[in-house]
Chain A
Amino acid sequence: MTEPTDADHVHAVTSRRRLLREGGALMGGAVLGGLASHAALAAPAEADAGNLPPNIPEWMKAPGEPMGSQLYGTPSPFEKGVVKNIPKDLPQYFSASGRTPLQDLDGIITPNGLFYERHHGGVPAIDPAQHRLMLHGLVDRPLIFTMEDLRRFPSQSRIHFLECSGNPVYTKPYGKTASDLVGLLSCAEWTGVSLKLVLQEAGLQKAAKWVVAEGADAAALTRSIPIEKCLDDAMLVYSQNGERLRPQQGYPLRLLLPGFEGNMNVKWLRRLRVAAEPTYSREETSKYTDLMPDGTAREFTFYMEAKSIITRPSGGQQLNTPGFHEISGIAWSGHGKIKRVDVSVDDGKSWQEAKLQDPVLTRALTRFRLPWHWDGQPAVIQSRAIDETGYVQPTLAELIAVRGDNHFYHNNAIWPWRIAAGGEVTNANA
């Protein structure tokens, strides 16, 4: 055949793309100016010179993919290394967690496909037409809602972070990357109805002090929430970043308690029981309680305290050249807005204020940035967050001095990164 048909031509273009894609995979995805991932350094940086100036790149010489080749868009194949960070070799994966690759993301919003996950009985496949929310207990009118019912209530959209309370634990080994350390953290725009409105629809009785929330998963996960939170900023959420919740995030309905530990934000929400007391479920007694060195344990430790981490440059990355590098990271507090983020580039001897990205939202991730000139010498860089209550993010040593090694939850330590003379970035606490 001397003249290729259209189909053959498409095939040829696709094959060439596949080659490029595989080449890109070797390069490990992110190569950002002077900053590169380890994988990128390990592979020879042999970009096809034929696509570089003064030549005309391949992708300009033929039409690209036609409209409709992806009915739901996915990232560029060159970004296929940017995925959830899921521990290998766990004994089982039904009660497990997957982390957001914080070091590969910009801004404050976590893409839905990279939002961190924690489930206790797998991810249920729920038909929304057969899902119901039951509201009962100390109410005047016990009610059952369909999803359609819940979407009829006045809606609201707000941006909030969500963080697992075991993010990370206090004991070694400490993780290598920002994701390993605090990747059980994400932030999204949530849409739903104020829980207060729904509770008022049923009529709260005077003795109502707690609301017990239950998920429709195989763990029937149950947590008790103080009524003050339920009547403040709690939401029943059905959408995340503009689209319906993903199954991993509680489709079709979840609870959102801004600033409270992730476990309480019950997914696949099917039942709310208004009560005078907490239910003392397994999740709020044997788990999600914080053991102290003297053998006492703190219970009902809801709030996530102020915290921050530098995501760029961070562990696993590489500074390829001395000179200008922007230091960038995220800060957040369950108690409200971030007031200030300080950054140290001299192993904690001195601190300077970073610039916060506007708008600074309450109980949301706040992006901070600081211009930095790296002189090529070994350095330790770190950030600390200060929230609107004046609380200052502590060091790991300060936390352990009070809480001991076995506290497990609510570790909001500063995580310093060590930069070697060669530009390799590692966890300075490891």
Chain B
Amino acid sequence: MPTRELFVAMLVLVGLAGATPARAQNTFGIGRPATPAEIAGWNLDIDRYGDNLPPGSGTVSHGHEVFDQQCAACHGAKGEGGVGDRLVGGQGTLATEKPVRTVGSYWPYAPTLFDYIRRAMPQNAPQSLSNEDVYAVSAYILNLNGLLPAAATLDAGTLSAIKMPNRAMFVGDPRPDVKNPDCVTDCPAPK
């Protein structure tokens, strides 16, 4: 192998090993740059703080109209559930034998509601609602759960400021949490 080719091969090997953490060059030179406009068009993610929520706003009353048209067929007229999940009620049930998990009783962060409705709802036509309609229907669902007054208008600021009742109840993964004593002979009868 000529010296120059050997040198190039060594460079590639060093690159593969990741020896230089802040490389200026792509290792393989595969892919093309993503433009800010392309990223903005595709990046739907809204985090728990509401970062990346779009401009716009919606009222509870407009949300009621949107809900009746777009959501009630699956989620029930008052969010009581049907083909789709129950959305309303259940607060105070999580530690009982019949827990009811809804937006109001279970969801830890309100901005997730906007994120999910915009990306996935209504199931027959996701990403068809305007941002204003998504704010409005989020407002209505929060209102049905007693978390927003009927006269309220929801926007990026007010949605991010809502503290969901169940927020503090999420914990990390403690597993392994269940121990089988690994008995081999003369084991006790199963319960």
Contact = CB atoms under 8 A, between A and B. Distances in A.
A complexed with B: yes
A144 B37 CA distance: 13
B126 A220 contact: yes
A296 B184 contact: no
A142 B34 contact: yes
A158 interface: no
A286 B39 contact: no
A278 B123 CA distance: 24
Interface in A58-96: 91-92, 94-95
Interface stretch (B53-61, B114-122, B136-144, B149-157): B114-122
A297 B169 contact: yes
B125 to A, nearest CB: 9
Interface in B42-92: 42-48, 82-83
A271 B38 CA distance: 12
A194 to B, nearest CB: 11
Contact of B107 (A285, A300, A348, A416): A285
Interface in A319-352: 342, 347-351
A149 B106 contact: no
B186 A350 contact: yes
Contact of B190 (A134, A293, A347): A347
A305 B33 contact: no
Interface stretch (A15-23, A102-110, A388-396, A419-427): A388-396
Chain B at the A interface: SS class = loop
A392 B51 CA distance: 43
B39 A403 contact: no
A144 B33 CA distance: 6
B31 A92 contact: no
A219 B126 contact: yes
Given A121-B126, A289-B170, A395 B33 contact: no
A235 interface: no
- What band does the interface of chain A fall in when counting residues whose beta carbon is under 8 Å from B? 35 or more
A298 B174 contact: yes
A201 interface: yes
A89 to B, nearest CB: 12
A145 interface: yes
B182 interface: yes
Interface string A253-282: 000000000000000001101010101111
B115 A142 contact: no
Interface in B140-191: 166, 169-187, 189-191
Interface of B: 18, 22-23, 26-28, 30-34, 38-39, 42-48, 82-83, 94-95, 97, 99, 101, 103, 106-109, 112, 115-116, 119-120, 123, 126-127, 166, 169-187, 189-191
Interface of A: 91-92, 94-95, 120-121, 134-136, 140-145, 149-150, 152-153, 197, 200-203, 212, 214, 218-222, 270-271, 273, 275, 277, 279-282, 285-286, 289, 291, 293-303, 305, 342, 347-351, 384, 386, 391-395, 397-399, 401-403, 405-406, 410, 416
Which 3 interchain pairs have the tightest Cβ spacing?
A295-B95, A143-B31, A282-B116
17 contacts: A121-B126, A134-B42, A136-B39, A142-B39, A143-B31, A144-B31, A145-B31, A200-B27, A273-B43, A273-B45, A277-B48, A279-B115, A281-B45, A291-B94, A300-B172, A305-B176, A392-B182
